[in-house]
Amino acid sequence: MKHRSTRFAALAVVLGCVSACPSRSPHVASAPRSASPATVRRPVVDRYHGVAVTDDYQWLEDAENPEVRAWVAAQNVRTRAALDGLPGRSDIEAQLRRIYEASFANYRGVVRAGGRLFALRSRPGAQQPFLVSLASADDRASERVVLDPNDIDASGATAIDLFEVSPDGRRVAVALAQNGSEVGTLHFYDVETRREIGEPIARVSNPTGGGSVSWAPDGNGVYYTRYPRDGERPAADLAFYQQLYFHALGTDPATDRYELGRESPRIAETSVDVSADGRWVLAQVANGDGGEYAHYLRGPTGTWRQLTRYEDAISEVRFGGGGLFLLSHRNAPRGALLHIALDAPSLDAAVTVVPESEAVIRQFVATHRRLYVAGIVGGPSQVRIFDHAGHPEGEVSLPPFCSVDSVVGLDDDAVLFRAETYLTPPAWYRAAPGAATGGVLTALHDDPPVRFDDAEVVREVATSRDGTQVPVMVIRRRGTTLDGSNSTLLGGYGGYGVSMVPAYAPTNRVWLDRGGVVAVAILRGGGEFGEAWHRAGNLTHKQNVFDDFIAAAERLVALRYTTPAHLAIRGRSNGGLLMGAALTQRPELFRAVYAGVGIYDMLRVERDPNGAFNVTEFGTVTDAEQFRALYAYSPLHRVTDGTAYPAVLLTTGEHDGRVNPSHSRKMAARLQAATSSGRPVLLRVSAHAGHGMGSSRSELVAEQTDVWTFLFDQLGMRGTP
C-alpha cells in the first residue's frame, strides 16, 4: 500500500548501535565537568482531575522564542565543549565513517512492476538512498538509477519519503521531504527518461500519519493521501484530517477528485491499494497509532462502503485469491488469515484459511496460486507456504535468530524475501513452493562490509515484577568472561506493537571491538508475542514495559555480564521515553543513558501536533484513570531534586515532527537542576535533522560519534580499539 523510506529505517534507528567495554575504571571520565547552565524557573500550574501539577519549564516549549533559541544555543555550546576534546573521538568518528560508507547491496522496499524490480538502494559516499530498477534479482548489471535525491540536493537534506511505481513500470510517483521533516511533496517521473512529468502535489505525507499513493492500472492517474491546505482548516488542524483523492496526470491538482476521509477521525492514518484490474480500490484507515484499523472498499459502481470497523480487530487487508485476504486478531492475538470473495465482500462471509499458531503473523503475500505467511516467534522469523485455501505446502528454512522484513510476490508463484540476522547483513532470497530447505540467495547481496565472525548471540530470560518472562538477546564476542566487568549497553523499545526483530547493526562492531556486550530487551508493548503482548504494555499498562526493562538490566547483573557501574542504556523515540522512565525509577542501576528524540512530559504530549496520534497508544489526561497512569510514570514529573542520576545525553532535531523537541529541552533543564551525582546531563539539538528518518549520512555519523564518545567516556572505555 505504501513504500516509505521512513518506515524502512525505523528499526535501524531504534536499534542503532549498542554495547560497551572496560579498559580503565568506569569512575574515571575525562569529559569537562562544567556546571549545568542555569535555567530560569517560571512555574505554571495545570490542574488535572483535581491534581495540581507544577511545570517550571513550560516556557521552553516555544521554539520560536528568542530566549529559548539562545538557551538551546548555550546547551549546544556546552555539549560541544564536553564531547569534542575527549580521547579517542577521532578514532571513533573514523571507524563510524568507514562503517556508514561501506559498500554492500542494501536494497529496501523492493516492488515488481512492468516486468522489472524497483528498490531503494544505498551506495558509498551517498547521503541518501536512491531509487533504482533492475531486470531481475539475479542481474545487478541491469541496475539503472531512476531517481537520485543526491543529484537533486548534494547537501543530503532531501530524502525519498515514499514511492510507488505504475503497474506497467513506466512511471513512478515519489514523495520528497527536506531536512528529515517527513513532510512530503509528490512528484511524478518518467522511468525511461528520468524526467519529471505533471504537476507536483504538496502535503501528501506527514510524520506519523504518513502518506500513501497507488496507481490506476493504466498508469495515467493515482489515488493519494493529502493533508489540508492553508485555508481548508484552522492552522492547528493542518497536520490532521488526512483524506484520499484521485489525480489524473496532466491536470491541475486543485481539481483532483475527493474520494474518502471526511468522516475519518482527526488522527486518521490512511493507506490505499488498487486491484490489478482496477475495478476495486481498498483504503485502510488507522485510528492513530494504537493499533485500531478500519477498511473501506470502492467497487465498480464508484461507491465506497465500509468493510471492517475498529472493533473488528482486522489489521491488514490485501487483494488475492480472487478476493481479499484479511489479517484478523479477533480471538486470535497472534493473528489468523481470513478470506472473502469480492462478488459479495462482507466480513460476515469470511472464511478462516490460516488459523492462529505460535507464530505472530507480520505479513502475507498472495501469488497466483500460493500464500506466503511471514511470522515471528518472540523475535526470530518463520515463513510458511499455503495454497489459497490454507492447505500447508511447506516452510522456508531460515537461520537461527533471523528476521524477514519484506516479501515480494513474483509471476511464477515464487517470492523474494529479505532476511538478516544480528551478525549477517540483509540479503534477498528467492523461495518457491516445495523449497522447504530454504531460499536461494539472489544477486541482491554482498559480502558483509563489517564481519562478526568472532561474535555469538545468546538468548537470556529475565523475570519481570509480575512474573512475566522477558527475553533478552545478547550479542557478545565468543569467550566473553562473565565476571561483572563487561561494559554493557542495553536497548529496548516496547511500544506500538513494534517488534524488536534480529537486525544487522554494523555499528555494533565499534562496541565489540572494545570488548563490550550488546543486549536488546524484548519488552511488552511490542508485537513479538502478538497483540496481547502489545496490549499488556500500552495505555494504563505502560508501567509493565518499564518493569520488564528494569528486570532485563537486573538479570544481566545477576548473570555477571556487568554491574551497574559498567551498565549503560539507550533508546530512541518511544525508546527515549523508556530511557526517561528507567533513569528516574532506578537511577542507581545505570552508569550512563543515551536517549534520542524521546517523550518525557506525558501530561502535555497530546497537545503536540503529533502527540494526538499517540493517544490511542498512551492514553489521555482527559480520562481520570489514564491520567493517573500517565502521571505515575511521566519521566519529567518523576525527576526528584538531590538524586544522584546517571550521566545523560539527550538528542533531538529541530525538524522532528513525530516528537516535539521541547520534551528534550524540558527534560534536560529538569535533570540538570535536580541531579546531585556530578555527572553530566547534556543536550544535543541538531538544526539539520528531524526524528531520524531522512537524515543525511553525514548527520548520522556526527550524532553517532557524539553518542559513542559520550558512552565510552562515561564507562571508562578506550576510544581506540
CA distance linking residue 230 with residue 228, whole number of Å: 7
CA distance linking residue 401 with residue 56, whole number of Å: 47
CA distance linking residue 592 with residue 188, whole number of Å: 47
Strands (E), 193-248: 196-205, 213-215, 221-226, 243-248
Tell whether the torsion through CA atoms of 558, 559, 560 and 565 is positive or negative: negative
At which residue does the C-alpha cell 493529502 appear?
Answer: 226
Q: Are 227 and 240 in contact (CB under 8 A)?
A: yes
Burial of 143 (0-12, 13-18, 19+ CB in 10 A): middle
Question: Which residues fall within 8 angstroms of residue 302, CB to CB, at 6 or more apart?
Answer: none
Q: Nearest CA to 261 among 233, 242, 234, 274? A: 242
DSSP string, 316-332: EEEEETTEEEEEE-TT-
Query: Of the listed 573, 634, 662, 695, which one is catalytic?
Result: 573
DSSP state of 462: E
CA distance linking residue 574 with residue 435, whole number of Å: 39
**Reduced to 3 states, what is the DSSP secondary structure of residue 429?**
strand
Q: Are 347 and 335 in contact (CB under 8 A)?
A: no
Query: Of the listed 3, 388, 566, 691, which one is catalytic?
Result: 691
DSSP state of 230: B
CA distance linking residue 282 with residue 271, whole number of Å: 8
Amino acid at 532: A
Active-site annotation holds for 247: no
Cell numbers at residue 187, please?
A: 512528484
Q: Are 592 and 20 in contact (CB under 8 A)?
A: no
Q: Are 491 and 503 in contact (CB under 8 A)?
A: no
**258 has which bridge partners?**
245
Measure Cα distances from 286 to 211, 268, 282, 340, 617 in Å.
12, 5, 13, 21, 12
Question: Which residues fall within 8 angstroms of residue 207, CB to CB, at 6 or more apart?
Answer: 181, 182, 183, 239, 610, 656, 657, 658, 690, 691
Measure Cα distances from 251 to 197, 226, 330 in Å.
11, 16, 44
CA distance linking residue 327 with residue 356, whole number of Å: 10
According to DSSP, the β-strands at 647-653 and 592-596 are parallel
Question: Which residues fall within 8 angstroms of residue 292, CB to CB, at 6 or more apart?
Answer: 286, 310, 616
Angle at 188 between CA 135 and CA 229, to 5 degrees: 145
The catalytic site residues sit at: 573, 691
